[in-house]
């Protein structure tokens, strides 16, 4: 008769520890640092370039099109995010409008915003010629 109670108690302890560890992992994820800034138009070569970045639970793969020394199009190929999907359109629009990979993040989707900006920056770095 004692064994079922011990098993149930063991499962409760296991569940509590698992929830605690998951909570600590998600709450302790520091936002990804932004690596980019204004685009150096003089160095850009026309073409389409791919870039990616990962930070915390987020990952982004983008395709950036450069034409006439400017960013003209950004396609998000992949974006792994829980709540950060809402960052996709505004961040892409801001990057193109400001010609910078350091733009204001979307509230509530800061890490996703930073990961998308960094993925675009990595693509831009491939577009730079010396």
pLDDT digits (tens, 9 = 90+) for 63-77: 999 999 999 999 999
Q: Give 15's pLDDT tier (boundaries 50, 70, 90).
A: confident
Structural domains of the chain in order of their starting residue, each with its CATH number: 41-127 (3.90.1010.20)
Instruction: Check pLDDT > 50 for residue 28.
Output: no
Show the tokens assigned to 5: 């109670």
Percent with pLDDT over 70 in the chain? 83
| Residue 124 pLDDT | 97
Q: Give 109's pLDDT tier (boundaries 50, 70, 90).
A: very high
Dihedral (C-alpha) 89, 122, 105, 61: value to the nearest 10 degrees? Answer: 40
pTM, entire model: 0.78
Average pLDDT over residues 108-119: 96
Q: Give CA–CA dist 59/116, Å, rounded.
A: 8
* Mean pLDDT of all residues belonging to the chain: 88
């Amino acid at each position: 008769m004692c064994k079922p109670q011990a098993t149930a108690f063991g499962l409760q302890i296991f569940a509590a520890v698992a929830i605690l560890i998951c909570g600590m992992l998600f709450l302790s994820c520091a936002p990804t640092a932004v690596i980019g800034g204004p685009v150096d138009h003089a160095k850009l070569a026309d073409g389409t370039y791919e870039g990616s970045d990962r930070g915390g639970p987020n990952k982004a793969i983008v395709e950036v099109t450069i034409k006439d020394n400017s960013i003209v199009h950004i396609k998000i190929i992949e974006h792994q995010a829980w709540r950060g999907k809402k960052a996709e359109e505004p961040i892409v629009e801001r990057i193109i409008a400001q010609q910078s990979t350091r733009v204001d993040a979307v509230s509530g989707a800061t890490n996703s915003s930073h990961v998308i900006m960094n993925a675009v920056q990595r693509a831009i770095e491939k577009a730079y010629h010396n």
